[in-house]
Structure 1
């Protein structure tokens, strides 16, 4: 399932390519035909992400709400102009790495992740291409004919004169009015990429400190904090040295504040690079290797049975809240 950083990156694509443009909205699959009729012919005026959900506003006041869920993905095709703030692994934009060290602009060679979690490198001038954005990002193929024929079960197609966005497999896809959008957002926990403020931090801390729920389960609750999924849950808990089964209300204020601050830190890096990079103090070849392969950029995620990078104990895999949980029984004792 796409985690918070992916949805923010997708939203930035809409901000760059669709805001201010009149769009033709259709439903090639047919399941969103009524909603498409409500939106088609109007201009996009806003695009925002809150955790794992995104919202597109149109000039007549209606919104399109999307939750990608487990299988959803957007394909952007045409003269796609990538958001210049979406720094890629080659350091062209001078992004900050995990160690807090700024990678020199142009100092790195372009890297491509063998697992398919590729950052997009077409920053700058638009070119004819097709880019798939979900949990992973990858450039699929050049586009010879625009708009391209729909591929697969396309729930929604948004089309401008130069760019096409096709949505497949979402958990939620609906037209809402402003009051309904406000109600949905009110049910979501704070998102530090939107509001990394003392008030947002305090909201998170106050909720967590009241709950007897295991912290490993609570971090996945989108009403408590927005955007954290399976990868970030495992990595944040390891970085904090916390046993996932610890009752949330037993944690100190200081510990809970540190969780919020680390989530804000990791989310910002994920939005900037397109990778869920959670390893610290990586420089040069080590950083490039981690950007190429997830096996080198996580502490515990998908490392079950392998020795902990810190203590050597075997990483444990178990189920929590019907999701796979990875943790070190010694470092997180």
Structure 2
């Protein structure tokens, strides 16, 4: 599932390409045809993201003028040069040069401003948003007996944080994923939050997740670059059995609520 930096990057692309214009809105697949027709011909005011949720706002006289998208596990939203649709395109937003094509989303629906507010109210603080307030998150973490590795994936706490950022930020701060929230110190929480803000902002800028520090890059260590469909240089994510880049201990993997969680048994005591 795409993590929050992907959704924020898409929001920026949509706003940059179509903001202030009247793009053609359609559903080549047909499953979103009626909804697309309601905003087709309206000005696209802009797109925004909160966690893993994308909102595309149209200036329109109709109440339900916001397209709400959640990509889920297999969804893709691609902004590419205008060409014929390929595959089962649920939603297309296009001008005379570019098209944004949505395929396989968990959901794509037309909502009102009130429904958007209700959806956002269920989400936690997003490290990529300037208006994020981590204080309520800290209070819930500090009061919880759940493992920090579980809490970091709770979208009602850390909106937009996914499996990669979860594993990597815990490694970077030497915290075992199984440690309960009640045992996380305030300075550790603040360090985790600040690191997420920085790492995820970098992900928006470059379009991939890089979490290794300068001393541990392929160039600095004389090692080959990581080869993985997710891209980016990481410490532990999907490196089970491989030597830790810091201490050489084989990276371990465990399961938390059905999701693989990678960590170094030596560095994260």
* Distance in 2 between residues matched to 1:185 and 1:7, nearest whole Å: 15
Mapped pair 1:242 → 2:242: no
1:163 matched to 2:166:
no
Q: Match for residue 252 of structure 1?
A: 185
CA contact (8 A) 2:23 2:94 kept: yes
Which residues in structure 2 correspond to 1:1-333 (within 5 Å)?
A: 1-60=1-60, 62-78=65-81, 147-195=82-130, 200-282=133-215, 285-286=219-220, 293=227, 297-333=233-269
* Distance across 2 between alignment mates of 1:206 and 1:290: 42
**SS of the residue aligned with 2:7?**
helix
1:258 Cα deviation after fit: 1.2
SS at match of 1:222: coil
Contact 2:25 2:91 in 1 (8 A): yes
Q: Which runs of 4+ in 1 moved over 3 A?
A: 282-296
TM-score norm. by structure 1 comes to 0.74
Following superposition, the deviation at residue 174 of structure 1 comes to 0.6
Give the match's secondary structure for 1:260.
helix
For the 8 Å contact 1:290–1:296, the answer to whether it is kept is no
Q: Specify the alignment match of 1:124 in structure 2.
A: none
Structure 1 pair 274/296, CA: closer, same or farther in 2 (3 Å)? closer
Rate the CA distance shift 1:288–1:51 in 2: closer, same or farther, 3 A. Answer: farther
TM value normalised by structure 2: 0.91
**Could you say what the CA RMSD is over the residues aligned between the two structures, in angstroms?**
2.2
Unaligned stretches of 5+ in structure 2?
Answer: none
Change (3 A) 1:51 1:32: same
Cα 1:260–1:169, aligned 2, differ >3 Å: closer, same or farther? same
Q: Which has the higher contact order (CA 8 A, sep 6+)?
A: 1
- 272 and 293 in structure 1: CA distance in 2 versus 1, 3 angstrom threshold: farther
For 1:319, what is the secondary structure of its paired residue? strand
- Quick check: 1:63–1:177 contact (8 Å CA) kept in 2? yes
